[in-house]
């Protein structure tokens, strides 16, 4: 026997909500640069002695058409004895359509899941840039975007609490 799914008086009909999902509509290099200011001298020293600092930045912009632009910026600076050997920077972007995600979860999806999709491509570009610059390919370790998101949320909440105190 089939169930009657006709709305009763005073009930709104159930809308067929789309299942939660992320669509990657486009991926692109927004910016890429490699600086090798001391070449070729920087290539002659002990490559294993390089101190490498890494930076990660995530920027999200909503659009009027309901889509989202997410940029993942990866930067790496290698130095030896206080001199910069190289600086590599990539801003890799994606255009995302998000459907069926509750509003309270949207921020986490944009700050965690979207950069996770972009990371392998930005990582490869950093690797290629350093290799083409004459250095061994720099392979950036996987990034815990969830941990970064939780840390930033905790910092924002602590700042808000201190401002209200």
Q: Which residues pair with 61 in a beta bridge?
A: 69
Residues in the chain: 165
Within-domain flag for 46: yes
CB of 90 closer than 8 Å to CB of 84: no
Within-domain flag for 9: no
Q: pLDDT tens for residues 80-125?
A: 888 899 999 999 999 999 999 999 999 999 999 999 999 999 999 9
Within-domain flag for 11: no
pTM of the complete model: 0.82
The domain that contains 93 carries what CATH number? 3.10.420.10
Residue 106 and residue 100: Cα distance in Å, rounded? 10
Residue 36 and residue 140: Cα distance in Å, rounded? 19
Tokens encoding 130? 């350093």
* 22-23-24 Cα angle (round to 5): 120
Parent domain of 56: 21-154
Within-domain flag for 82: yes
pLDDT reported for residue 16: 65
């Amino acid at each position: 026997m089939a169930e009657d799914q006709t709305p009763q008086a005073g009930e709104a009909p159930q809308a067929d909500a789309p299942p939660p999902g992320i669509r990657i509509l486009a991926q692109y290099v927004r910016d890429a640069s490699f600086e090798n200011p001391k070449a070729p001298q920087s290539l002659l020293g002990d490559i294993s002695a390089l101190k490498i600092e890494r930076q990660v930045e995530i920027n999200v912009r909503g659009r009027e058409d309901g889509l989202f632009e997410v940029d993942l910026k990866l930067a790496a600076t290698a130095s030896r004895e206080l001199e910069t050997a190289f600086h590599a920077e990539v801003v890799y972007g994606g255009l995302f359509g998000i459907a069926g995600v509750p509003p309270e979860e949207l921020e986490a999806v944009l700050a965690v899941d979207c950069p996770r999709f972009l990371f392998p491509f930005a990582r490869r570009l950093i690797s290629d840039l350093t290799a083409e610059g004459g250095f061994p390919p720099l392979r950036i370790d996987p990034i815990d975007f969830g941990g970064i998101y939780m840390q930033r949320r905790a910092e924002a909440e602590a700042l808000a609490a201190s401002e209200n105190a």
